Amino acid sequence: MDLMPGVRAGEVDGRIRTHYLESGPADGEPVVLVHGNLSTSRFFEHLMPGAPERWRILAPDMRCFGRSAPAPIDATRGLGDWADDIVGFLDALGIDRPAHLVGWSTGGAAVALVARARRVASLTFLDPVSPYGFGGVFRDGTPCWPDHAGSGAGVANPEFVRRLREGDRSEDDPLSPRNVMNATYWRAGHREPRDREDVLVDEILLTTISEDGYPGDAVPSQNWPGAAPGTRGLLNALSPKYCDWSWLPTLTDKPPVLWTHGGQDVVVADGSALELGTLGAGGVVPDWPGADVFPPQPMVSQIRDVLEAYRAAGGRAEIEEFPESGHGPHVDAADHWAATYWAFLESVR
């Protein structure tokens, strides 16, 4: 594996066998970058060579992704397995001082859970999943259906899952992993250099495709659209049935928080292009029961509500929007995002 200058790869046995990337001095202040769904540590690699020398940057591959162990995900714990793996990873490295945590997308829920388990130096939510999970809830987190139908693995696109399983590296169909990445991870029109894009596609294709990994299992439902979340795998862990970090304002020890949001994000949005309420309202999924029953989820508003409550409870929460960025401003606005993040870390010393 060819890495960028100054970036090192390692592996450690913590709660699970964890592969990770690292840069900076071994005795530096720890910064842990946690990737999201259908990605790996290498989606942060480009930030490492230019990082200030005082920081020890660590980016693990989370279970079922990248080169870490394909350990099963217990969806009933939400992102609890990921959170415990992060704690185990830090313990295995002998890091007992509070770490600065960054959680991208799915990783946002995981780092929030870490902050409930142990003291952290700061939390950065990088276009995180909503505090109420992904799909099928009203603004206050109330589920549209009692069984949370319309969220979880049952609403994954089977053609996309097939292409992941078969290792499709092409760009001949909108549902190829390469095209899905370019259409949903970054702002419209952004492309990484071809060699770098190839690396990221290869990383996505390391995903464990199974009922215990991605997408997970599902159960039939009498409620629209006919499927409810099961108990295994990542997409169920993201379902509002299990995923929740709306309790953040109740933390006794409130670390400084930074939320960075891409203004053109189509994944985490008030009207996400991937969420069933939006797809139903647009006629993509038939028989939508209407906005009074299953509205598009206001994800950005939900994040803002929770962080405003965090401020009201005495916490520090900064918000930085990247108007021209998509779901990954750390990639499509890398220099701006990095400068914003390093400045935030300096401010919490």
Placement of tokens 């939508």 in the chain = 288
Q: Tell me what pLDDT residue 349 has.
A: 73
Amino acid at 264: Q
Residue (of 233, 240, 227, 225) closest to 299 by Cα position:
240
Q: Tell me what pLDDT residue 201 has.
A: 98
For the chain, which domains are there?
A: 8-141+238-347 (3.40.50.1820)
Question: How do residues 291-319 score in pLDDT, each as one tens digit?
Answer: 999 999 999 999 999 999 999 999 999 99
**Cα separations (Å) of 328 from 43, 151, 196?**
9, 23, 15
Confidence bin at 119 (pLDDT 50/70/90): very high
Q: What is the mean pLDDT of residues 42-63?
A: 97
The predicted model scores a pTM of 0.98
Question: How do residues 63-112 score in pLDDT, each as one tens digit?
Answer: 999 999 999 999 999 999 999 999 999 999 999 999 999 999 999 999 99
318: Cβ contacts below 8 Å, ≥ 6 apart = 256, 257, 258, 259, 344
Q: Tell me what pLDDT residue 338 has.
A: 98
Question: How do residues 206-256 score in pLDDT, each as one tens digit?
Answer: 999 999 999 999 999 999 999 999 999 999 999 999 999 999 999 999 999
Distance CA 45, CA 23 (A): 9
Q: What is the mean pLDDT of residues 10-37?
A: 97
Full DSSP string of 6-75? T-EEEEEESSSEEEEEEES-TTSEEEEEE--TT--GGGSGGGSTTS-TTEEEEEEPPTTSTTS--PPPBG
Distance CA 127, CA 48 (A): 20
Helix, coil or strand: residue 310: helix
Q: Tell me what pLDDT residue 319 has.
A: 98
**Cα separations (Å) of 138 from 58, 134, 219?**
36, 11, 22
Question: How do residues 260-270 score in pLDDT, each as one tens digit?
Answer: 999 999 999 99
Question: How do residues 124-143 score in pLDDT, each as one tens digit?
Answer: 999 999 999 999 999 999 99
Q: Tell me what pLDDT residue 196 has.
A: 98
CA-CA-CA-CA torsion sign (148, 263, 254, 39) = positive
Estimate the crossing angle of helix 158-165 against helix 177-184, to 10 degrees: 120
Mean pLDDT of the chain: 97
Q: What is the mean pLDDT of residues 158-174?
A: 97
Q: Tell me what pLDDT residue 306 has.
A: 98
pLDDT at 55 over 90: yes
Q: Residue 252: is it exposed, middle or buried by C-beta count within 10 angstroms (0-12/13-18/19+)?
A: exposed
The dihedral over CA atoms of 13, 202, 41, 210, expressed in degrees to the nearest 10, equals -60
pLDDT at 1 over 90: no
Confidence bin at 30 (pLDDT 50/70/90): very high
CA-CA-CA-CA torsion sign (101, 246, 295, 163) = positive
Confidence bin at 62 (pLDDT 50/70/90): very high
